[in-house]
Amino acid sequence: MSNRSEQIGTAAWGRADLHIHTRCSDGGPSPEQVVQHVLRRGHLEVIAITDHNRIEGALRAREAAEGSALQVVIGEEVSTADGHLLALFIREPVAPGLSMAETIAQVHAQDGLAIAAHPFDPISHGLLGRGSLMRSLDEVAELPLDGMETLNASLVRQVGNAVSQVIAQRFGFTGVGGSDAHHLAVIGRAYTLFPGRTAEDLRRAIIAGTATAAGRRWRWSQYLSWICGCLIPRTARRVYRVARSARLA
């Protein structure tokens, strides 16, 4: 670990945020705004757009990043029967509502990578969380996961990340980091460090177990910014659309 720590921050290591949402699902910014923000900041080499149960945002982001130094991984956050799963390096949407094992099989059928999202957060949809059909850590250990999100910048409670780190180490899952950003300020706050600079380097590092999670959770001021700048306006728009539809009916 000491050798890795000495190399971090040099040109030999890249940074990737593997968990970003856009307005194509429940995020605030458009895919194009995400790309522009990351290029302006210059703090990431690779990003994965992981909207809920859809890949349109990822495809748009990849198109927006063409010709730039930024590489975009096509992904989505799949709602399985056993919690949320980050499907990375996929070509087509993955069917929601299946068991975790069935969903992982669909991801692998596309040569994609399957990463458990916020797996042990008591609030989020994790592996043993609310609604999950899984009941024990033994079941988790048997899953053919390619990695586990051990640092999610958007978790309200630190305990979710702490437990994920312990479980990933215990069962030999590669630990990765992602912001779970729903607005621009949080992108890159947590990320995955990997040897190399490209998306393919990232893929190889996750498989080989040489990637690692880094960064930190977002500040309460950023939560407040998201609530005021994204959540409240989005909710207001939905209420307006419902009310307008009711009037027109």
So what's the pLDDT on residue 133?
Answer: 65
Cβ-contact 21, 53 below 8 angstroms: no
Q: How far apart are CA 101 and CA 43, in angstroms?
A: 34
Q: How far apart are CA 6 and CA 97, in angstroms?
A: 43
Residues 210 and 226 in one domain: no
The token pair that represents 242 in the structure block: 């419902």
Predicted TM-score (pTM) of this structure? 0.85
Q: What is the CATH number of the domain that holds 73?
A: 3.20.20.140
Residues 68 and 35 in one domain: yes
State yes or no: pLDDT of 187 exceeds 70: yes
State yes or no: pLDDT of 192 exceeds 60: yes
Q: What is the mean pLDDT of the chain?
A: 89
So what's the pLDDT on residue 248?
Answer: 74
The average pLDDT across 84-102 equals 97
- CA angle, 48 as apex, 47 and 51 as ends, to 5°? 140
Q: How far apart are CA 15 and CA 62, in angstroms?
A: 17
Residues 117 and 227 in one domain: no
* pLDDT band at 222; cut points 50, 70, 90: low
Residues 9 and 53 in one domain: yes
| Cross-strand partners of 48 | 73
Residues 26 and 88 in one domain: yes
Residues 80 and 177 in one domain: yes
So what's the pLDDT on residue 231?
Answer: 67
Residues 214 and 228 in one domain: no
Q: What phi and psi, each to the nearest 5 degrees, are found at residue 74?
A: -75, 125
Which residue segment(s) compose the domain that 225 sits in?
220-249
Say how many domains are in the chain.
2
